[in-house]
Amino acid sequence: MRKKIVAGNWKMNTTLQEGIALAKDLKAALAGKTVKCDVVVCTPFISVASVAKEVEGSIIGVGAEDCSAQEKGAYTGEVAANMIASTGAKYVILGHSERRQYHGENNALLIQKLQQALANGLTPIFCVGEVKEERESNTFKSVIEGQMAALYTLSAADFAKCVVAYEPVWAIGTGLTATSEQAQEVHAFIRKSIADHYDAKVAEETSILYGGSCKGSNAPELFAQPDIDGGLIGGAALKADTFMPIIEAWK
């Protein structure tokens, strides 16, 4: 059975103190509750170690928002996958549209990052998705297939350690949301693509998350779709009281 996952991506928000406070709030909100999904928070590098320590012993998993393509060395400002793993974090977001757009990340670089993450026991949450023009020109499936090609360099065993996140770029932080039917169509397309590259079993066991202005009000409808296994949540993950309804959308 596929894992259901609700993961928060804090992006470049929260100071160290604010991040610890948010983690504390979320931990308190989850205390004593039975939830039907894995809960993950991916924090800025400055907060990963402190948040991991704060949520130790809880059901909350911790991740980083990126990692270096390099193992170690003279790469000022970079953070290696083994450094992230040393904090107790278990996840790393790779290929987010903002990294692709603002930092020019391409498949060649992302393949290296995937290799570093997997070599250090981190679960990559690998993002794919189209911009508005690609959606309107109906080329979005070929765009997503091209982005998935980085994952398809992995063996089936390594691919099985990854999570895919579909994020229509036109719906990130815009207040626009893909309809549940639009989201389901792409998730089903991604799952079929995985089956074509590996096999039906690998595809059936891959968790595919939806991201793009997902919130408490639309999460139940999105999560009811057969190929949507959770969410990668931006703004709504920055407060426990807006993140919790998304977690609780899994009944």
Domain 5-11+36-247 CATH assignment equals 3.20.20.70: yes
* Catalytic residue set: 96, 167
Closest CA to 178 of 170, 29, 99: 170
Mean pLDDT of the chain: 96
CB 84 within 8 A of CB 55: no
Report the alpha-carbon distance of residue 106 to residue 103 in Å, rounded. 9
- Please give the pLDDT value at position 178: 84
The pLDDT tens digits of the residues spanning 179-212 come to 999 999 999 999 999 999 999 999 999 999 999 8
The pLDDT tens digits of the residues spanning 214-227 come to 999 999 999 999 99
Q: In one letter, which amino acid is 94?
A: L
Q: Tell me the whole-structure pTM to 2 decimals.
A: 0.97
Tokens 């953070």, residue located: 79
Domain ranges within the chain, ordered by starting residue: 5-11+36-247
Report the alpha-carbon distance of residue 168 to residue 222 in Å, rounded. 14
The pLDDT tens digits of the residues spanning 162-180 come to 999 999 998 877 777 789 9
Report the alpha-carbon distance of residue 144 to residue 134 in Å, rounded. 10
- Please give the pLDDT value at position 171: 84
- Please give the pLDDT value at position 218: 94
